[in-house]
Amino acid sequence: MPAGTLEVIIVEGRHLKDRDLVGQNDAYVEIYLDKKYKQRTTTISNSNNPIWNERFTFNLQKGDDSIHFDVYDADVVGRDAIGSGKTKLKHVFDDGKFDEWVKLPAKFGLSSHGEIHVVMNFRPS
């Protein structure tokens, strides 16, 4: 995989699985290539269809081949996992850009916990 700069834009989420008993999710997304270094969006309160429009930058090293998205519901104490998705960076390397909805599958892929709209741009170094 080539080295360079990966720009990731977390645009929005839709149909996020509700984790709250009262009201809707207070959703945020953690983005990472490697679990040691995560970036996250702000928390959007009371929405299962949040709009973030937030931009993140990652310096890619050789060997980075997937990017991960973990979506959480922020609670007063702790957090609840809404869902996780990932995508291969090959799509971005091939086209220089990526603009898709990333699904957050439930266990065994039988149902969905929603999806997030992700735009990525890659610039080789």
**What predicted TM-score, i.e. pTM, was given to this entire model?**
0.92
Kindly report, residue by residue over 73-111, the tens digit of the pLDDT.
998 788 999 999 999 999 898 888 999 999 998 877 677
Domain range annotation of the chain: 4-124
CATH number of 4-124: 2.60.40.150
**For residue 19, what pLDDT band results from cuts at 50, 70 and 90?**
confident
Question: Torsion angle, CA of 85/51/95/63, rounded to 10 degrees?
Answer: -40
Kindly report, residue by residue over 23-52, the tens digit of the pLDDT.
899 999 999 998 889 999 999 999 999 999
Query: Which residue, 73, 78, 93, 95, is CA-closest to 17?
Result: 73
58: number of Cβ within 10 Å: 21
